[in-house]
Amino acid sequence: MYPLISRSLRLVPFIFITVVSMLVLEKSFVFSDSPLVSEAKQNDPDANLKYLFAVFFLVWALFFGYIFFLSRRLKEMRNEVAILKKIISERE
């Protein structure tokens, strides 16, 4: 029926799994105000560099994934416009 809508609906399970996994993982994090974190680790800026890198990498991966998704949608829309132009020219 509508190829763009049907293809974008494929992302719904991915988004659902991502949100659920974020909620589950949020319970396993140890926050800096937690008594499990020692005073020495709270004051050490190098202790959290791996988390900073992980978030940095994740944000860039999501950004490029979104750009890839948009480029595919744009290509599909151009193909649909070309098909519609062809149909209109055949009717005339």
> What is residue 84's predicted lDDT score, i.e. its pLDDT?
95
How many Å is the Cα radius of gyration of the chain? 23
Positions of the chain with pLDDT lower than 50, given as ranges? 1
For the four alpha carbons of 19, 24, 28 and 33, in that order, the dihedral sign comes to positive
3-class DSSP state of 49? helix
Determine contact, residues 73/2, Cβ cutoff 8 Å: no
CA distance 77 to 71: 10
> What is residue 1's predicted lDDT score, i.e. its pLDDT?
44
> What is residue 63's predicted lDDT score, i.e. its pLDDT?
93
